[in-house]
Amino acid sequence: MKDTLTVGLSATRHIEINTSRTIDFLGEELRVYNTPSLLYDFEVVCRELLLEHLDSGEDSVGIGVSITHSGATLCGMIVEMTVVIAKVDGRLITFDLVAKDGVEEISRGNHNRFVVDVEKLRAKVAAKAAKAAKAGK
């Protein structure tokens, strides 16, 4: 990690809510931003911010999240997502999260990501895959 990775760094992204980001089980007139897409979008914004401050061969993985989803954002609306690094504890990075849709705040929470050495993670996953194959899983 670079020494530029510090508390207070932030990023804001604007995301148009398209059909693939909405629920479909309540009918066309109630196609609103779904929570799994909201979470995914937060994770992407956090990861992209971190990548600017990581060394070659490093990346990050999500390890925890707590969010509210308190507003119904319609298909076609724009969501403004802001993520702020709240804590850096070694390789554990904590973000504060806020999303607004132009009418109201729709989400707030926090997200933890862990900075990983990609090659070490690749080796660990390969070892687990070998154990799973041996166990017939």
d(CA 109, CA 67): 4
Q: What is the edge-to-edge ordering of all strands in the sheet holding 10-16?
A: 10-16, 78-89, 92-100, 105-117, 58-67
57 Ramachandran zone, left/alpha/beta (phi>0; psi -120 to 50): left
Per-residue pLDDT of the chain (137 residues; tens, 9 = 90+): 999 999 999 999 999 999 999 999 999 889 999 999 999 999 999 999 999 999 999 999 999 999 999 999 999 999 999 999 999 999 999 999 999 999 999 999 999 999 999 999 999 999 999 999 988 76
CA 95 to chain centre: 10
Asked whether 62 and 43 are in contact (CB, 8 A), the reply is yes
Domain definitions of the chain by residue range: 10-134
What CATH number does domain 10-134 carry, 3.40.50.261, 3.10.129.10, 3.40.190.10, 3.30.70.920?
Answer: 3.10.129.10
